[in-house]
Amino acid sequence: MKNLSFFLFSAVILGISAFDTCPRESCEDSCKNRCGKKLDKSYGCQCNPHCERFGDCCKDYHLCLYADPSSNEVIQPIDEPENSCKGKCGKKYNKKDSCHCNKKCVKFNNCCPDYDTLCGGGDKDAANSEATSSHSHNKNKGKDISNEEIKAMSEKIYELDENRAEDSDIILNKQNAAERTGNKEDLCDEPLYKYVNEEILSRPTYKAFIELTNNYVRKTGTDEEYTPEEIKEQEHFLKEIMKTKLMKELYMFFHKKEMYKTEKEFVDDLQKMWFGLYSRSSGEADSSGFEHVFVGM
| pLDDT higher than threshold 70 for residue 81 | no
Q: What is the pLDDT of residue 3?
A: 47
Q: Say what the pLDDT of residue 297 is.
A: 57
Instruction: State phi, psi for 170 to the nearest 5 degrees.
Output: -135, 115
At 120-161, the pLDDT tens digits run 764 444 444 444 444 444 444 555 888 899 999 999 999 999
Give the residue from 217, 259, 215 showing the smallest Cα distance to 236: 215
Task: Please compute the mean of the pLDDT values over residues 76-93 and round it to a whole number.
Answer: 66
d(CA 255, CA 263): 8
**Domain locations in the chain?**
4-15+142-176+187-295
**Residue environment code for 113-123, b if the CB has 16+ CB neighbours within 10 A, otherwise e:** ebbeebbeebe
Q: Tell me, what's the pLDDT at 224?
A: 77
Q: What is the Cα–Cα distance from 111 to 100, expressed in whole angstroms?
A: 5
Mean per-residue pLDDT, 214-234: 83
> What is the model's pLDDT at position 278?
79
pLDDT at 79 over 70: no
> In angstroms, rounded to a whole number, what is the distance separating the alpha carbons of residues 239 and 4?
16
Cα gap 294→297, rounded to integer Å: 8
Residue positions counted in the chain: 297
Share of the chain above pLDDT 70, in %: 73
* Percentage of the residues of the chain whose pLDDT score is greater than 90: 26
Residue type, 161: D
Residue 133, classified by CB atoms within 10 Å of its CB into exposed (0-12), middle (13-18) or buried (19+), is exposed
User: Integer distance in angstroms from the first to the last C-alpha of the chain?
Assistant: 17
The pTM of the full predicted model, rounded to 2 decimals, is 0.53
Question: Do the beta carbons of residue 86 and residue 118 sit within 8 Å?
Answer: yes
Q: What is residue 31's predicted lDDT score, i.e. its pLDDT?
A: 80
State the pLDDT confidence band at 109, using cuts at 50, 70 and 90.
confident
Are residues 244 and 163 in contact, defined by beta-carbon separation less than 8 angstroms? Answer: yes
Q: Which residues contact 89 (CB under 8 A, 6 or more apart)?
A: 101, 102, 118, 119, 120
278 - beta bridge partners? 287
SS3 content of the chain, % helix, strand, coil (to 5): 45, 5, 50
Nearest in space to 215 (alpha carbons), one of 203, 230, 235: 230
Distance CA 52, CA 58 (A): 10
- Distance of alpha carbon 41 from alpha carbon 147, whole angstroms: 18
Given a contact cutoff of 8 angstroms between Cβ atoms, the answer to whether 99 and 83 are in contact is yes
Spatial separation of the C-alpha atoms in residues 18 and 13, rounded to whole Å: 8
Q: Which run of H or E residues covers position 193?
A: strand 193-196
pLDDT tens per residue across span 158-190: 999 988 899 999 999 988 877 766 777 788 889
How much is the pLDDT for 65?
A: 60
pLDDT at 37 over 70: yes
| Residue with the larger pLDDT of the pair 77 and 7 | 7
User: How confident is the prediction for the chain on average, in pLDDT?
Assistant: 76
Three-state DSSP class for 147? helix
What local confidence, expressed as pLDDT, does residue 139 receive?
45
Q: What would the 3-class secondary structure string for 165-190 be?
A: CCHHHEEECCCCCCCCCCCCCCCCCC
State the pLDDT at residue 249.
94
